[in-house]
Copies of this chain bind each other. A is one copy, B any other.
Amino acid sequence: MSGSGAAGRRERRDMQRNMERVLQAARELFAERGAAVTVSEVAERAGVGVGTIYRRFSSKEHLFTAVRQAACSDARLQLAAAAATTHDPVSRLGALIVALYRQSLHQAALLDSPRSGAGIPDDARHGLYPALHTLLSEAIAAGQQLGHLRPGDPAVLATLTLELLRPPAVQRISQATGDCDGAAEQVARFVLDGLRASDS
């Protein structure tokens, strides 16, 4: 055997290359237009036939899911990094919001759930929720200017904040203002102000 042989047989080079192309194409197309892209389109952009895709992914759904999950965990890592730059809970919250805003803007259709079933909660949000919830709880625990919040509130606020940062919303906001980064910070300020208000 030669190379990184593991068990049985090594994967053929061309196949490996093709799969990379497929994933690349799928990432781009799905990010842009979501689940509406056809399998043939992905195949065409990747420069392969549809059969090549189906040999690896048993259905379009599988391909989509795979691509989205990869994008999600990637995103989650970046967010974690962004939020870890300081110890002050409120600052961390702000950093998280700005980072999330940017991601939503760039991966719009991919991160947004295409109702993958009926009541199935989409993993993108599912993964983010705990982090946000924790951050909010910490902020409240720290008593940091978050006057009128009660222990039960984080759940609502987390949901609310996440909604505000979903791709469709973010796209519209950026479109309306024309200025991406400025918008991101304005949104963050809005949310933080909402959380911070001391008298209702």
Residue A88 at the chain B interface, CB threshold 8 Å: no
- From A6-14, A53-61, A67-75, A190-198, the one touching the partner chain is A190-198
- In the assembled complex, how far is the CB of residue A100 from the closest CB belonging to chain B, in whole angstroms? 14
- In the assembled complex, how far is the CB of residue A198 from the closest CB belonging to chain B, in whole angstroms? 9
Given A156-B183, A183-B156, A193-B194, decide whether A173 and B177 contact each other with a Cβ distance below 8 A: no
A183 to B195, CA, bound (A): 16
Quickly give the copy total for this chain.
Answer: 2
Which residues of chain A from 143 to 194 have any CB-CB distance to chain B below 8 Å in the complex? 153, 155-157, 159-160, 163-164, 166, 168-169, 172-173, 176-177, 183, 186-187, 189-191, 193-194
Residue A200 at the chain B interface, CB threshold 8 Å: yes
Residues of A contacting B: mostly:
helix
Closest Cβ neighbor of A147 among chain B residues: B193
Chain B residues in 8 Å Cβ range of A172: 159, 163
Chain B residues in 8 Å Cβ range of A190: 157, 160, 194
Query: Do the beta carbons of A163 and B159 come within 8 Å of each other?
Result: no
Query: Do the beta carbons of A155 and B169 come within 8 Å of each other?
Result: no
Partner of A159, one of B153, B173, B194: B173
Partner of A194, one of B156, B173, B177, B191: B191
A residues near B (Cβ < 8 Å) are 153, 155-157, 159-160, 163-164, 166, 168-169, 172-173, 176-177, 183, 186-187, 189-191, 193-197, 200
17 extra interchain contacts, Cβ-Cβ under 8 A, other than A160-B190, A191-B194? A155-B176, A155-B177, A156-B173, A157-B190, A159-B172, A159-B176, A160-B173, A160-B187, A163-B173, A164-B169, A166-B168, A189-B200, A190-B194, A193-B193, A193-B197, A193-B200, A197-B197
| Shortest beta-carbon contacts, A-B, top 7 | A194-B194, A193-B197, A163-B169, A159-B176, A190-B194, A193-B194, A159-B173
